[in-house]
Amino acid sequence: MDNGAYQPEQEIKSSILLNTFQIDKKSYRVFYNNETLIWEKIKNNKSKVIIPIHDVISVCYPKRKSSQPTPQVTPSLTSPQHTQQIYHDANDDNRSITINYAKRCIDPKVESGKSSKNCGDRNKWRIHSVTLHSNDKYIIKEWHDTLNKILNALKRPRKLLLFINPYGGKKNALQLYEKYAKPIFRMANVDVSVIISQRPNQIFDLVMQQQLDQYDGIICSGGDGTFSELFNGLIYRKMLSEHSNGMESNEELNLDNENIPSPDIPCGIIPAGSTDTIAYCLHGTTDIKTCIIHIVLGQVSGFDISSISNDKGLIKFYASVVAYGFLGDISFEQENYRFLGPRRYEWVGFKKVLLNRGYDVEVLIHQDNALSSTNQGQNSVNNCDKIKCYENCSVCSMPSTSTANMKKANEEEKFKKITGRFFMVNLANISCACQRSPSGMSPYCHLADGYNDIILVRHGNIFQNLRFLIKLSSKTGQITDFPFVEMYRTNKVYFKALNSTSEGSLTDSTQPISNLGPNKYTSVWNCDGEIVQDTDVIIRAHRKLLPVFYRGPVQEDLENKSRGCCCC
């Protein structure tokens, strides 16, 4: 992944510090050089701790809380509430400083070279603190001032706007923010303005209306649907600012990568939903502290976003998956069982498996020249390099060539046509990994390569469907092992529902869902958990369209099984 977080000035890079301090009443040699902080025992240099400066959250004198009361977070629709707590220095004669830093959780057995079943925690990060003591207050001041000067030169968010959805998942997003997020933001000296949403699509509306120039990032606390509202608002806002004709220009807008403007401000997510698929794929975990740590450290990389449109223009952007058939039917009917909470997906899914409905569709899959040149003219994921997406991914770091190849001549575009009856048709923008489906719907889908994986599941008997769903939630094997499952990598798909009873098969996506829905001829689209009624659509991938706070999952040991994700 491209990492835009580490940009200290050249003179700060050359800073060198070396002194002896007391840590837990023992003498340590502490030095800083080449953007690395190291401390080791003087009598035992084997006991050494190495921390990159970009993993240091803050450096401060010992502090005491102010007697002023902590501001309370109250619901607000238009006026953000500031939640930073005030601290003061303990005294002017400081003889110690505290360094707060983040470190990846690594099982001790893994560090010693032994295998462990708990290696999944390697994606989690935690905050640690070390206090340096010295009798020389001038040395303490030099370290405090120099390290803070270095930290201030890093490209990190200093002011954030946070949207909280109190109704998603277990309805505890506000409590999670108070318990986990606020202390970390306060430690990192990040000023956070909070807005608590009160209705669906309010975050989208506020992003379109609010003045955002004063913020270094826009984040949300909620599920995948909440994040979808946020990034759709940011992209539409940018499109409006660059196209004078307003939203009507979407009808004539060419949706190639370079024609969709990328938002100027990064966004992020604090997971508080039911499945939290997007957060799981971005960080390799849904651990809240880990996600917040990546935000305050300013870990920003480009993230693929895909679009779904019809012949009238753009409908919506999505980050995880669009699904037609089984998952679309579940998304539609689960609205009637919200009283069951997250369990409603399992109940509705069980009903749909028994119903075993199939849909006749036609898909045209664009065969990208860049993929064909390395895979014998086929875009099947079975033939692509089976490389998973991790931190500093080599695939996501490659320069984009597909758009240039398409622009050479339109006649060079090639499409693979597939027609038949399918149990489900899914287009995965990411691997879609989550705790329910650790291997993922598409384990080799990448976060920033500019492609979707289209998964076609042929209609069959109930036993076949059960085998597929069990494999999807398994840690071993792949769904492409089944002969009735096809998977292709592409950046553009034309989809058409056959035997549609609607005139032209194109309906208004904004119609209330109670008036429309699946029938025995057609289904609906599950687009990041939201319903899209149109059946004839074009789906495109847009490479690194969205700047997002994330680092990427850590690469696993060869002995360990992969972890992936699925969108429900």
For 7-11, 369-373, 412-416, which range has the lowest pLDDT when averaged over its residues?
Answer: 7-11
In this prediction, residue 85 has a pLDDT band, given cuts at 50, 70 and 90, of very low
Instruction: Please check whether residue 423 is in contact with residue 326, taking contact to mean a CB–CB distance below 8 angstroms.
Output: yes
Question: Which of 363, 373, 370, 379 lies closest to 417, judged by CA?
Answer: 363
Instruction: Say whether pLDDT at 316 is over 80.
Output: yes
Mean pLDDT of 64-89: 49
Q: What CA–CA distance (Å, rounded) separates 428 from 52? A: 35
Mean pLDDT of 271-283: 92
Instruction: Say whether pLDDT at 12 is over 80.
Output: no
Q: What CA–CA distance (Å, rounded) separates 217 from 158? A: 9
Q: How much is the pLDDT for 399?
A: 82
Q: How much is the pLDDT for 567?
A: 36
Q: How much is the pLDDT for 504?
A: 38
Q: How much is the pLDDT for 243?
A: 72
Q: How much is the pLDDT for 241?
A: 86
Alpha helices in 409-531 (DSSP H): 462-472
Q: Provide the token pair at 309.
A: 């449109």
Instruction: Say whether pLDDT at 378 is over 70.
Output: no
Q: How much is the pLDDT for 132?
A: 95
What are the tens digits of pLDDT across the range 223-243?
999 999 999 999 999 998 887
The CATH number of 10-66+90-153 is 2.30.29.30
Q: Residue 428 corresponds to which amino acid?
A: A
Our measurement of the distance from residue 57's CA atom to the centroid of its chain's CA atoms, rounded to an integer in Å, reads: 21
112-133 CB burial, b ≥16 within 10 A, e <16: eeeebeebbebbbbebeebebe
Mean pLDDT of 31-54: 89
Q: What CA–CA distance (Å, rounded) separates 523 from 324? A: 6
Rounded (10°) CA dihedral 387, 389, 391, 395: 60
Domain locations in the chain?
10-66+90-153, 321-334+356-549
What are the tens digits of pLDDT across the range 280-311?
999 999 999 999 999 999 999 999 999 999 98
Q: How much is the pLDDT for 256?
A: 56
Q: What is the SS3 assignment for 192? A: strand
Read off φ and ψ for residue 522, nearest 5 degrees: -135, 155
Q: How much is the pLDDT for 385?
A: 63
Q: How much is the pLDDT for 160?
A: 97
Q: What CA–CA distance (Å, rounded) separates 329 from 524? A: 7
What are the tens digits of pLDDT across the range 166-208?
988 888 999 999 999 999 999 999 999 999 999 999 999 999 9
In this prediction, residue 435 has a pLDDT band, given cuts at 50, 70 and 90, of confident
Q: What CA–CA distance (Å, rounded) separates 126 from 137? A: 30
In this prediction, residue 423 has a pLDDT band, given cuts at 50, 70 and 90, of very high
Question: Which of 541, 279, 523 lies closest to 396, judged by CA?
Answer: 541
Q: How much is the pLDDT for 254?
A: 56
What are the tens digits of pLDDT across the range 496-533?
998 764 443 333 343 333 345 666 688 999 998 889 98
* Residue 192: CB atoms within 10 Å: 24
Mean pLDDT of 200-218: 94
CA angle 120-319-300, nearest 5°?
Answer: 65
Q: How much is the pLDDT for 343?
A: 79
Pairing outcome for strands 530-532 and 525-527: antiparallel
For 34-43, 186-195, 247-256, 483-492, which range has the lowest pLDDT when averaged over its residues?
Answer: 247-256
Which CATH topology does 321-334+356-549 take? Tumour Suppressor Smad4 (2.60.200)
Q: How much is the pLDDT for 70?
A: 46
Q: How much is the pLDDT for 86?
A: 41
Q: What CA–CA distance (Å, rounded) separates 486 from 478? A: 11
Q: Residue 506 corresponds to which amino acid?
A: L
Maximum average pLDDT range among 256-265, 500-509, 535-544: 535-544
Query: For the chain, what percent of residues have pLDDT higher than 70?
Result: 76
Mean pLDDT of 399-428: 75
Distances (CA, A) of 256 to 91, 491, 542: 58, 10, 7
Q: What CA–CA distance (Å, rounded) separates 155 from 145? A: 18
